[in-house]
Structure 1
């Protein structure tokens, strides 16, 4: 299976920094509460000085969404939505141990972190690209949508969209769940210094996953020179 960003995406967004992680052997039983609290505490400390709307990492994604023709205050990148909820409620929702950890790391570093069930992706290619308009996206409540033509999405070889509006919303089809054993995690940043931030996100997640599950995560930074991440096998679920 190959993950990559389409050349038209990289050309239109030269500030993109991205990285990916693959791991096999996770489940929903590990106790990550203390680590989730640690990372959310870091985010809360930062939020005490400024709201998330002033974070350089968030502002960069707002500018990106504006260039894509999206209203940044209507459609927020995933990390901004999480930070906003954390600021208002003081905590993040508990969903699944893997997702909880990824969300906590996302707010700590203020960049979007997507966690997907790799066995729900149809290979051989998962590409971040402009939608054609005929891709199928499944919401978390089971409804079917079709990304608008030109909307940036994660599209697999079966024409299934695993995100809406790039880093705005993931798909319910490939959401990490109780039966998930193999994950693909993607971190993306647009701000100055983004490559360093993404590298730290990957390092942090690899360390935490390896400490809580019997896994050996494989990570890679994706660049214009090395735009592809090869991971695992083609998915078994169409």
Structure 2
């Protein structure tokens, strides 16, 4: 497995002090137990409704503060974990999308943590978390059609050599690197702030890998801690 080491712009320290993440690289294997995914998603939704983690509200509030620090409006464009959990609290569940996507969404919901999943084969160069100049292309969907947008100058983005892969830190992923169960080399990023205990971040990463390996027996994983 060729390892990938994402980079974090030092300017992020002033926006989100104490930011840390887990970078998880997975080499896929054939899906033999697809029922693992919807079961994990349903369980996570029920846990949010009945047995939520104690740091959830504080962690999502900290993400709101981080978004405000680079000029985003979290009520309009919230972090990915807040958006998922809002749907669960309103509707009681989430529809199944794709086995791999369901599994990482389940981790995001359960642990109140933004989780990104990317097809690493679609990347041009190494993922990096940085501040946008404003001229980096971002491919997204509008009314079913692919369009190119550009981030605001100073916006926190994930990007590669070709452009933006995720806007407003973890609000919306692009089309080009989007992950599904057909990908062979999968990259996951679990992003946390100090309001979430570090052992919980490790637990979330371990559970993600465990569920993926139940889904795809023979899949291999490498977990790396990132800090700035």
In the alignment, what sits opposite 1:7?
Answer: 10
Cα RMSD between the aligned structures?
Answer: 2.2
Alpha carbons 1:56, 1:191 under 8 Å: kept? no
In the alignment, what sits opposite 2:50?
Answer: 45
Deviating more after overlay: 186-195 vs 205-214: 186-195
Is 2:136 the partner of 1:135?
yes
In the alignment, what sits opposite 2:208?
Answer: 205
Structure 1 position 4, deviation (Å)? 1.7
Identify if the C-alpha distance between structure 1 residues 139 and 194 changes in structure 2 by more than 3 Å, giving closer, same or farther: farther
In the alignment, what sits opposite 1:146?
Answer: 150
> 1:22-73, CA deviations, whole angstroms, 9 ceiling, x for partnerless residues?
11115666222222222221112146x99x9x71111110111111122221
Q: Which runs of no fewer than 5 residues in structure 1 stay unpaired? A: 225-238
In the alignment, what sits opposite 2:62?
Answer: 60
Q: Secondary structure at the match of 1:66?
A: helix
- 2:29 and 2:49 map into 1 onto residues whose CA distance is 28
Q: TM-score, normalised by structure 2?
A: 0.88
- 2:30 and 2:180 map into 1 onto residues whose CA distance is 8
Q: Secondary structure at the match of 1:60?
A: helix
- 1:67 and 1:11 map into 2 onto residues whose CA distance is 9
Is 2:193 the partner of 1:186?
no
Alpha carbons 2:87, 2:93 under 8 Å: kept? yes
Q: Which runs of no fewer than 5 residues in structure 2 stay unpaired? A: none
Runs ≥4 in structure 1, deviation > 6 angstroms?
none
- 2:59 and 2:16 map into 1 onto residues whose CA distance is 15
In the alignment, what sits opposite 2:41?
Answer: 36
Alpha carbons 1:15, 1:192 under 8 Å: kept? no
